[in-house]
Amino acid sequence: MSQPATLTGKPAVTPPASAYFFEDRQDPEEAHTLTVLVDNEPGVLARVIGLFSGRGYNIESLTVSETEHEKHLSRITIVTRGSRAVLEQIKNQLARIVPVHRVTDLSEVARERNQEKPLERELALVKVAGRGENRLEALRLADAFKAEVVDATTEHFVFQMTGRSAKVEQFISIMQPMGLVEVCRTGVAALSRGAEAS
């Protein structure tokens, strides 16, 4: 710990150490879809989002809407990514929020029921502008993806398409060269498969 002096008489600057313990953890990460049932009152969504940003968790997708009006219950669906330990923390931290009724890990439920994935759908509105061959090609592709035309002029289409996120991604990237103008996506809505509640 003593300060070594250099030949020029200037003390050598020792590299600092820290009283915190740095650890490099590289546990494998997985994406999970969580559904959170909350009392619909002001600030709940801010608390959920704040939890994710404050504790450094990822949000890949988030949707929220009141689903049981008489009981003032809202359902928040979150797609998040993390190691198993972090995912467990996320669920416990969410469950700790006072107006949260229930946190369900739909990916875990699917695994328990020997299903590949929970039922997950997304809706996208995709605006494409162009004329001539591109325009026709866009329409043909939309048809192949079962996307619906919800708005059109001679110069543009707005397609509405629903499906799994991967399919939505694919549709958008295919529309890119056809004159894609802008995209709006709802984020993932999800339920467990089968007759029982999640």
Partner 1 sequence: MGKEMTGAEMVLQALRDHGVKHLFGYPGGAALPIYDELFQQEDIQHILVRHEQGAGHAAEGYARSSGKPGVVLVTSGPGATNMVTALTDAMLDSIPLVCITAQVPTHLIGSDAFQECDTVGITRPCTKYNWLVRDVNDLPRIMHDAFTVATTGRPGPVVVDIPKDVQFATGTYHGPDGEGRSSYKGYEPRIKGDEQAIAHAVELMANARRPVFYTGGGVINSGPEASQLLRELVASTGFPITSTLMGLGAYPASGKNWLGMLGMHGTYEANMAMHDCDVMICIGARFDDRITGRTDAFSPGSQKIHVDIDPSSVNKNVRVDVPIIGDVGNVMGEMLRLWREKAPKPELKPWWNQIETWKARRSLAYRPNADVIMPQYAIERLFQATKGLDTYITTEVGQHQMWAAQFYHFDEPNRWMTSGGLGTMGYGLPAALGVQVAHPESLVVDIAGDASVLMTMQEMSTAVQHNLPIKIFILNNCYMGMVRQWQQLLHGNRLSNSYNESLPDFVKLAEAYGCVGIRAERPGDLDDAIAEMISVKQPVLFDCRVANLENCFPMIPSGKAHNEMILPAEAESEAEAAFAGGKALV
- Nearest CB to partner 1, comparing residues 4 and 132: 4
Task: Report the helix count and the strand count for the chain, using DSSP H and E.
Answer: 5, 9
The residue range among 94-102, 130-138, 164-172, 173-181 that interacts with partner 1, by the rule CB under 8 A, is 94-102
Residue 8 makes contact with partner 1 by CB under 8 A: no
Q: Angle CA(134)–CA(136)–CA(142) in degrees, nearest 5?
A: 100
The contact pattern for partner 1, residues 9-38, with x = CB under 8 A and - = no contact, is --x-xxxxxxxxxxx-------------xx
Question: Which has the closest alpha carbon to 187: 67, 38, 49, 64?
Answer: 64
> What number of other Cβ atoms are within 10 A of residue 21's Cβ?
5
Binding residue count for partner 1, defined by CB under 8 A? 38
CA distances from 122 to 71, 79, 116, 160, 166 (A): 26, 12, 18, 10, 10
- Nearest CB to partner 1, comparing residues 20 and 153: 20
The contact set with partner 1 (CB under 8 A) reads 1-3, 5, 11, 13-23, 37-39, 42-43, 46-47, 50, 54, 85, 88-89, 92-93, 95-102
